[in-house]
Amino acid sequence: ALVEQWWPRVMRHGDDAEVLAALRGLPVLITAGPTREALDPVRCLTNHSSGKMGYALAQALTAAGAEVTLIAGPTALPRPALDQFVAVESALDMYAQVLARVAECAIFIAAAAVADYRPASPLPTKFKKHTADLTLHLTRNPDILADVAARIAPPFTVGFAAETVTTVEELADLATAKRLNKRLNMIAANRVGGDSGGFERDDNALLVLWDGGNHHLPLQSKTQLAAALTILIAERYALSTASQTSRPAPRA
């Protein structure tokens, strides 16, 4: 019922219902939003992710009949109408929640903008400002998406890449390198900076790449983008389960 109510409003072409049928009843894990890495009880390192893309994907996949679990960092968005919603703060929190659920999921979509680094030694009390300069030591966070894709029996993995590049060719090169390096099934890339959409905006454009193909989704609302991306995911997922050789090969 949901699929009939929701999809006609965002999609115009007709034969998507058949494609989307591949998602029905499928357990899907989605991450969304930023993570917050504490320096002390008050200060944090974070990023400008609004969570809108991940939330829109959770809505689109739910409408398509998938069993969605959304693991989200702190956002200003209203709590979504999902049975499985897990709120997290830090990258380590998100990592633990993903690992606890990934074995059961068929598709993993990493839409969260996970902080790459966290303060090496967060302070238990608010530090006092005494000095003109301060040196902050950061340590690398786990790469949640790469670790999921490197599992022995990984789910179908979809990553995102936000890059400050000027041309679509540079974007495609960086995103393809990321896809191959992390062994992802699919990557959705966008340019950040300028007027190219993305973080904290309601619209975005995405270049979606997979092994042997790509598709450009022009600037549109994140709701429409999530619908279009869900159809691409459904198509590629169906093909990957139909073939034993669909997983990208490890790099030589």
What amino acid positions are annotated as catalytic residues? 47
Pick the stretch among 1-9, 99-107, 109-117, 221-229 that binds a second copy (CB under 8 A).
109-117
Q: Does 134 bind a second copy (CB under 8 A)?
A: yes
Burial annotation 70-90 (CB, 10 A radius, 16+ → b, else e): bbbbbbeeeebebebebebbb
Query: Is the alpha carbon torsion for 49, 172, 236, 104 positive or negative?
Result: negative
**Minimum CB distance to a second copy, residue 71 (Å):** 20
Q: CA-CA distance, 178 to 10, in Å (whole number)?
A: 30
Q: Does 209 bind a second copy (CB under 8 A)?
A: no
> Quick one: which of 86, 146, 192, 219 contacts a second copy (CB under 8 A)?
192
Q: How far is CA 25 from CA 28, 105, 145, in A?
A: 9, 11, 23
Pick the stretch among 6-14, 134-142, 152-160, 213-221 that binds a second copy (CB under 8 A).
134-142
User: Distance between terminal CA atoms of the chain?
Assistant: 47
Q: Are strands 84-87 and 37-38 parallel, antiparallel or unpaired?
A: unpaired
Q: What is the DSSP letter of 183?
A: T
In the block, which residue shows the tokens 């998406």? 145
Residue 144 phi, psi (nearest 5): -60, -50
The alpha-carbon radius of gyration of the chain (Å, integer) is: 18
Q: Does 48 bind a second copy (CB under 8 A)?
A: yes
| Nearer to a second copy (CB atom), residue 18 or residue 40 | 40
Pick the stretch among 8-16, 40-48, 96-104, 147-155 that binds a second copy (CB under 8 A).
40-48
Q: Does 177 bind a second copy (CB under 8 A)?
A: no
> Quick one: which of 4, 13, 83, 124 contacts a second copy (CB under 8 A)?
124
> Quick one: which of 44, 72, 175, 234 contacts a second copy (CB under 8 A)?
44
> Quick one: which of 8, 9, 24, 41 contacts a second copy (CB under 8 A)?
41
Longest dimension (CA), the chain: 64
| Nearer to a second copy (CB atom), residue 25 or residue 194 | 194
| Nearer to a second copy (CB atom), residue 131 or residue 243 | 131
Among 36, 247, 206, CA closest to 122: 36
**Minimum CB distance to a second copy, residue 42 (Å):** 5
Q: Does 167 bind a second copy (CB under 8 A)?
A: no
Interacting residues with a second copy (CB under 8 A): 36, 39-48, 76, 113, 115-117, 120, 124-126, 129, 131-140, 162-164, 192-193, 199
